[in-house]
Structure 1
Amino acid sequence: MSKGVDKEAAIRTHYAELNKFGQNGEYEKAVKAANKILALNPDEFQAAHCKVVGLIQVSKFNEAIQFIERAKLNQLVFERAYVEYRLNQPQKALKTIDSCDVKPLPDNLKELRAQVLYRLEMFDECFEAYKNIIKNSSDDYEDERATNLSAVAANLSIEGSTKDFSNLREDTYELTYNSACALAGKGKFNEAEKKLRASEKLCRETLEEDGSTEDDILDESVIIKVQLAYCLQMQGKSKEAYAIYADALKLKSDDVALIAVCSNNTVAINKDQNVFDSKKKIRTALNEACEHKLTSRQNKTIAINNCLLTLYTNQADQCQQLVNKLVQKYPDIEFEGLLIRVSQLAKDKKYKEAVDLLEKYTKSYPDDDLPAKFAMTQLLLLNGNKKGAIEVLQSLGEAKYRPGVVSAIVSLLLGSDNKAAASQVLKDAVEWYKKSKINSGDLTDMWRQAATFHLRGGEAETAASSLEELRKSNPQDMKILAQLVIAYAQFDRSKAQEASKKLPALDTLTNAAEIDSLEATNWMMSTKAVKKTVSKVEQSPGTPGSELGKQRKKRQRKRKGKLPKEYNAEVQPDPERWLPKYERTGFRRKRDKRSKDVIKGSQGMASGAADQYDMSKAQNLSKASPAATSSAEPTPGPRQHQRKSHQKKKKGRF
């Protein structure tokens, strides 16, 4: 038998082994079998293809891409793109897919391309790709594609897309979860919370029907709970959210992205509290393994929180270094980094340096200087420079006519005792809104405050101008009309009379009782006096119901006062009966223990023997002797005294 025949037989034998290992899922052995075939014949494309698939199955992606490049397997577009995708090289993967000569792309490449677009955060193109795939496919993976489509829709909502996603399905817990994420992205946290609770309930019911264990249910539903905690946190329910995050971290899930989100959100709740716990959790969130699992928005948020944590812990140098790295890596958040740097300088009382940095930024970005100038205003106020803060606010261009800015400027001017300038600011704002006719929301409060301010300052015409604008938006408000009449009356009586005709009649506002009470009261009297006068008017003889009051008074009988027991009318009462006991004649004061009359001697000694036993007196020294002492009759102690027995009167009838 020739060597060629032996070689062919060996290749067939190895192919049989390769097929068996592949069907049994023994991919390591399958790779070895493929290597044996390639050792006999390097041009065996099927064996090379099987080897690449086997390496992918055992997650040896670096070996797979090296083998593809070494063997020049350019035909394996899908395998190459998939390996690049798994190696976190989505740009290369997209380039590989787009270089495919087969047009239109095969279904597997379409699916992979949509996944790559999602990883690259090209959500608009990804959304259209999934819509096209769902439209042109009919297999068992319809639910998975619908779930991916709703996930893309959720990310578009977070980015502020105006597309309508109301027609997306919500019949599975994954779809309900993605719909809730879309609502959360739009800021509708209350509605998102309700959907997340429904999704959690549906998840448990679905998995219980499939016979899953409690641990499996918890692992599957933990992502829903974490999103629920985020919605609660954004609604201000930090304690509930913190408890959910803590429970999720205790599960020790294999999802590194989930752990990173929980850790970061816990740090956000802690703020400047629990610093040691925050340091530990921020290190977990900054793990390199999490970077490719999170979106760029999430990675930015974690990096910003890391900078803020160093700010809270007074690590000034480290804070500056981290901010510099943050701005280099994410140039689109330069202003956020600047605010952190400025906050650190302000914390160190370096207000001038902080203001200089913000001024430099406003010169570089004049079209986006509003947030920076607000920050400058805050710093100047912290430094006590009201004049500088007013100048910054007045340099905002047309933005200085915004209601909030106008209010701030007026408040600062009034605080500086400059009423004339404050009045002028309000005048300019009123005139600007009249000319520009820009709709900047509800300006009712601003018009009302401006009118009140000018009325108090005696500028009736300016106040009337504000009230006229206010009346346009609230034509039914009689209070505004009354103020307008008062303003007109000060400079144009004809207008005041014409406007007063629109006021409601007096009869519709008050009734007879209110008029009578007002006429009966004197406004110069105190409140208590007015109340007494009104009550007297109501009870006057001419008032209806007064006769009924008289009848009630007649019916009331005076009760006789109760006399004490053993009362004798012939005996004069004690004249001191109304005096306190200590002021009465027969009151005996208790002996003061500190007085000189304190009895000296043993307990129970009679008062008569005090002088006898007082050794300080010379006359008693000769008398005092053991015989005399022993002959004295002892006085019974306290225990020998007997209480006088009082005979209790028996109760009975006499």
Structure 2
Amino acid sequence: MATSSLSAILKKTTLDDHEQILEVSNKTLKSSKSDIEAQHVKVVALLKLDRYDEAVKFVEEAGDSLKKRAELEYAYALYKTGRLGDALEIASSLKGRGAQHLEAQSRYRLEDPSRTAELYKQLRSGNPESEDYDLRVNQIAINAQAEWLGVVDPRRTRRTEREDLATFETAYNVACGSIAKGEYAQAEFLLKRAEELCKQSEDLTDQQKADELVPIRAQQLYVLLCLGKTAEAEGLAAEIKLEETSDLSTRKITEVNKLLAASLLNPFVAHKTFHSTTTIPPEDKLFSYQSVPLDSDKFTLDLQAFKFQGIISSTLKIIQSTSASPISPDILLASFFNAAAHARNASGKTAIRSILPELEKRPNDVGLVLSLVQLYVLGGNITSAVELVESFFKRLEESMLESEQDIRFNPVLVSLLIALYKKRGQKALIKTELAKVAAFWRTRPNPPTSLLAAAGISLLKSQNEDDVKSAADIFSKLLEQLPNDKATIAGYVASHALNSGSPVATYVEKLTPTSELTRTVDVDGLESAGIPQSSNALAIAQSVQTKKRAAPDAGSAAHKRIRKSRLPKDYDKDKKPDPERWLPLKDRSYYRAPKGKKKGRRGGDDRTQGGAVNEDLNVESKSAPAPVAAGSGPGNKKKKGKGKK
């Protein structure tokens, strides 16, 4: 009876009269609380009125029967209240375009661009014309998100087309992709284009235009700050009217960017202003590439305001309480600022001494390790940085947890160790590390292509047959991911050249011919130039040539001015200098010994020790002293014995 009366009333109401529908459904439920039709109508009315919290609460209180009847509506209400994981779980189990749209939006908010792109590809394959534009806008947004997260799939890269610049939504999303890639000048142009198209749109009211212009100008402000155009950024910040937007997350980000444009010199005033900005509600969850910079700004201002203990306490809670990966952006950020707070804004050896005790407490804290490595490198102590990373990797290798093995072979951390090895010139260790990386990632799905390519190239240089075979396996796997990449094809051909069973010839045709590569090379000029020298040898030769001065011509040599302090006191420029002035005084020809001194031969020519003997002396021809006869000399008298006379 209640159901029939409700249906009759609904037939008389318009689709936009959601308040009246809600009122009727509530009256029906008063008389029959278990009326599933009235419950379903009430859920839809609440969603139409944007009362999502009430919708979730009502469905959960009504029980499983309503959850099963209104699964899609319940999932949508969960999505709007920020419970993205629960919404995704329900939407992925349902069928239909509505469920696919909801699953795609949930995955997009949960930062899963790969799976989201697959869902939108499915939606576009059975796409009604009415959804074509919306799907294209969403696809460009997914591409921008993949750029932000650094997980761009080369097989799904999409070039910007002319039609992407025809509307302000698509132009804005393309601009966001340029910002993610660091192409700020291109992003500045695209954002101006999006602003013009938004102002010229005939489909929007003045209020809607004002609401859409706020995020566009907020991105413009960010780009101007990145380009260093401070004056333009300050002028634009003054024009942005935040009261015209109802999106609290956009308002928060814009307020922070305006604070940065103002460049307040007093850190305490900046700290107070930052903490007085808009508070974002929990259901309006920011993306990680938005929340991480905001948290970084917050911790930076706390450091400048000397709130060290507060930073240590809050960052430690994040590190210990979260279930996220230790290499996730928010955990790394907390670790960095935790280290900075322990160092109390110090640097160098003082900071290292303050952070090392924390590393003993948390030996596998990636953020602490990276902070110490940076301090060692800035201080020029590359050896300690290498030893720190090696000991960290050794601890991870000894662990049996798969999650820690993933950290051990993380592309960023591996690249850090390889960069340190390059700094020290340890090529053998680089090869060993790349071989370990290749062995780990060859059996894993979605391996890092750049790291595997580097490992394959390193193994190709080896004379070991096993290394060449490993390189062949690596390039075979890479060819599946990047079938049109010429560097990958070249590596595949080089590694399979000796294997007669591999289809190398078909891939050689895809490479640029050698004749085309050498078309502009002057062979005769190369032959006449001779053997090329290494860059190091050329640098040394150039350095020697610049340091060496050519002898001046006798006629054109400029007179060199001699300082007066370097000249002797009795210097006379008209007097000829003594040619024997370089000899010791006693060896000069005009030297005469002072009176009272023992006279001897001058010049030292008669001194035979260590020199030539003077034959005029005739030493050997002179007779020796004659022997004295006994008792003939005065010294030969015998003394009388004692007591004798």
1:338 corresponds in structure 2 to 335
AA in 2 matched with 1:135: S
CA deviations over 1:472-512 (Å, ceiling 9, x no partner): 4599x7x766668999x9xxxxxxxxxxxxxxxxxxxxxxx
1:128 corresponds in structure 2 to 118
Cα contact 2:52–2:81 (8 A) shared by 1? yes
521, 525, 535: which one pairs with 2:556? 521
> What does residue range 418-457 of structure 1 map to in structure 2 within 5 Å?
none
205, 210, 222: which one pairs with 1:218? 210
AA in 1 matched with 2:372: A
> What does residue range 72-221 of structure 1 map to in structure 2 within 5 Å?
72-73=65-66, 74-100=68-94, 105-163=95-153, 164-166=157-159, 169-170=163-164, 171-206=166-201, 209-210=202-203, 212-213=205-206, 216-221=208-213
2:223 corresponds in structure 1 to 231
CA deviations over 1:305-361 (Å, ceiling 9, x no partner): 222211101122222223223434565344433332333344476646424246538
More moved, 259-268 vs 116-125: 259-268
Cα contact 1:242–1:269 (8 A) shared by 2? yes
Cα contact 2:143–2:177 (8 A) shared by 1? yes
Instruction: Point out where structure 2 has 5 or more consecutive residues left out of the alignment.
Output: 391-414, 435-452, 456-529, 563-645
AA in 1 matched with 2:298: N
1:312 corresponds in structure 2 to 304
CA deviations over 1:69-94 (Å, ceiling 9, x no partner): 42522122211111111221111111
More moved, 53-62 vs 175-184: 53-62
Tell me: CA distance 1:435–1:271, structure 2 relative to 1, closer, same or farther (3 Å): same
Tell me: CA distance 1:326–1:240, structure 2 relative to 1, closer, same or farther (3 Å): farther
Deviation at 1:140, TM superposition (A): 1.9
AA in 1 matched with 2:209: I
AA in 2 matched with 1:129: L
AA in 1 matched with 2:360: K
Instruction: Point out where structure 1 has 5 or more consecutive residues left out of the alignment.
Output: 1-7, 407-424, 441-467, 490-514, 528-654
Tell me: CA distance 1:439–1:269, structure 2 relative to 1, closer, same or farther (3 Å): farther
2:249 corresponds in structure 1 to 257
Which structure has more relative contact order (CA 8 Å, sep 6+)? It is 2
Deviation at 1:298, TM superposition (A): 1.8
> What does residue range 338-487 of structure 1 map to in structure 2 within 5 Å?
338-347=335-344, 351=351, 353-357=353-357, 360=360, 363-364=363-364, 369=369, 371-376=371-376, 378=378, 389=381, 392=384, 395=387, 471-472=533-534
Distance 2:553 2:283 in 1: 76
1:321 corresponds in structure 2 to 313
Deviation at 1:402, TM superposition (A): 5.8
Cα contact 1:15–1:33 (8 A) shared by 2? no
Cα contact 1:180–1:192 (8 A) shared by 2? yes
Tell me: CA distance 1:359–1:203, structure 2 relative to 1, closer, same or farther (3 Å): same
1:244 corresponds in structure 2 to 236
Distance 2:137 2:72 in 1: 23
Cα contact 2:3–2:38 (8 A) shared by 1? no
276, 280, 293: which one pairs with 1:301? 293
The alignment-based identity, stated in percent, is 21
Distance 1:99 1:256 in 2: 32
2:274 corresponds in structure 1 to 282
Give the TM-score, by structure 2 length: 0.56
SS in 2 for 1:521: coil
Tell me: CA distance 1:268–1:400, structure 2 relative to 1, closer, same or farther (3 Å): same
Deviation at 1:154, TM superposition (A): 0.6
Distance 1:295 1:315 in 2: 27
SS in 2 for 1:145: helix
Cα contact 2:339–2:371 (8 A) shared by 1? no
Deviation at 1:136, TM superposition (A): 0.9
| 1:15 maps to 2:7 | yes
AA in 2 matched with 1:364: N
AA in 2 matched with 1:165: R
Distance 2:151 2:276 in 1: 32
Cα contact 1:260–1:285 (8 A) shared by 2? yes
Tell me: CA distance 1:210–1:95, structure 2 relative to 1, closer, same or farther (3 Å): closer
Give the TM-score, by structure 1 length: 0.56
| 1:59 maps to 2:50 | yes
> What does residue range 610-649 of structure 1 map to in structure 2 within 5 Å?
none
Distance 1:257 1:46 in 2: 37
CA deviations over 1:13-33 (Å, ceiling 9, x no partner): 54332233343x222221222
Deviation at 1:242, TM superposition (A): 3.9
Deviation at 1:12, TM superposition (A): 4.6
Deviation at 1:227, TM superposition (A): 0.8
SS in 1 for 2:13: helix
More moved, 80-89 vs 394-403: 394-403
| 1:48 maps to 2:48 | no
Tell me: CA distance 1:344–1:40, structure 2 relative to 1, closer, same or farther (3 Å): closer
AA in 2 matched with 1:157: E
Deviation at 1:281, TM superposition (A): 4.3
Distance 2:139 2:258 in 1: 30
Tell me: CA distance 1:288–1:521, structure 2 relative to 1, closer, same or farther (3 Å): same
CA deviations over 1:562-621 (Å, ceiling 9, x no partner): xxxxxxxxxxxxxxxxxxxxxxxxxxxxxxxxxxxxxxxxxxxxxxxxxxxxxxxxxxxx
CA deviations over 1:190-212 (Å, ceiling 9, x no partner): 11111111221222222xx4474
AA in 2 matched with 1:64: A
1:534 corresponds in structure 2 to none
Deviation at 1:36, TM superposition (A): 3.9
Deviation at 1:173, TM superposition (A): 1.2
Cα contact 2:76–2:87 (8 A) shared by 1? yes
Tell me: CA distance 1:136–1:259, structure 2 relative to 1, closer, same or farther (3 Å): same
Tell me: CA distance 1:307–1:78, structure 2 relative to 1, closer, same or farther (3 Å): same
Distance 2:123 2:133 in 1: 12
Deviation at 1:176, TM superposition (A): 1.0
Distance 1:436 1:81 in 2: 47
Deviation at 1:277, TM superposition (A): 4.8
Cα contact 2:336–2:371 (8 A) shared by 1? no
Tell me: CA distance 1:291–1:435, structure 2 relative to 1, closer, same or farther (3 Å): closer
Q: How many positions carry a matched residue from both structures?
A: 428
AA in 2 matched with 1:180: A
Cα contact 1:21–1:27 (8 A) shared by 2? no
Distance 1:267 1:17 in 2: 54
Cα contact 2:268–2:305 (8 A) shared by 1? no
